[in-house]
Amino acid sequence: MDPLERLIAIEDIKQLKARYFRAVDTKDAALLRSVFTADATADYRGAATDPRSGVNAIPGNTEAVVIGAEAIVAGVMTSVASLTTVHHGHIPEITVVSDSEANGIIPMVDRLTMPADSPIAALDGWGHYHETYRKEGDGWKIARLRLSRLRVDVTMAD
């Protein structure tokens, strides 16, 4: 692949992922929709499970792979509606496979504060997004997203 084209793709994918984070944290459904391919899949299984204990702190949530951008956006927006969230991405590893395909590993931290009536007060998590990207007519999109966890700290409500 042309070296300049590769760098352009990497920068555009970084900004794509930055828009994903900003869309989730500012609860911007239209912006979030714009970062996914229509047929995208999102695998947030384990997002609320500390890999050290294996305990899922938020049963019922994030237990299945979500298929399709519309379903992903609806699911994320429902999840974050009553929360204050921060999601940040760190120095990523993005590999461009072809003019229209790329893979990425994105280190991440998130910090969720739950609503007052929740048994859980807060969830602080660290891990990596493992993603594939596809270039469409209007730019790079996330085609597949999977979140793996290094640790999840749960703070119970008093």
Cβ atoms within 10 Å of 115's Cβ, excluding its own: 12
Q: How far is residue 120's CA from residue 156's CA, in Å, rounded to a whole number?
A: 4
SS3 assignment, position 14? helix
Least separation in angstroms between CB 17 and its own copies: 6
Residues 55-84 touching its own copies, rule: CB under 8 A, are 84
Cβ atoms within 10 Å of 70's Cβ, excluding its own: 13
Q: Applying CB under 8 A, which of residues 34, 79, 85, 132 lies at the interface with its own copies?
A: 85
105 binds its own copies (CB under 8 A): yes
Residue type for position 87: H
What are the beta bridge partners of residue 22?
none
For its own copies, how many residues bind (rule: CB under 8 A)? 36
Q: Applying CB under 8 A, which of residues 55, 67, 71, 86 lies at the interface with its own copies?
A: 86
Number of H helices, E strands in the chain: 3, 7
34 binds its own copies (CB under 8 A): no
Residues that bind its own copies (CB under 8 A): 3-4, 7-8, 10-11, 14-15, 17-19, 21-22, 25-26, 52, 84-86, 88-94, 105-107, 109, 111, 113, 126, 128, 150-151
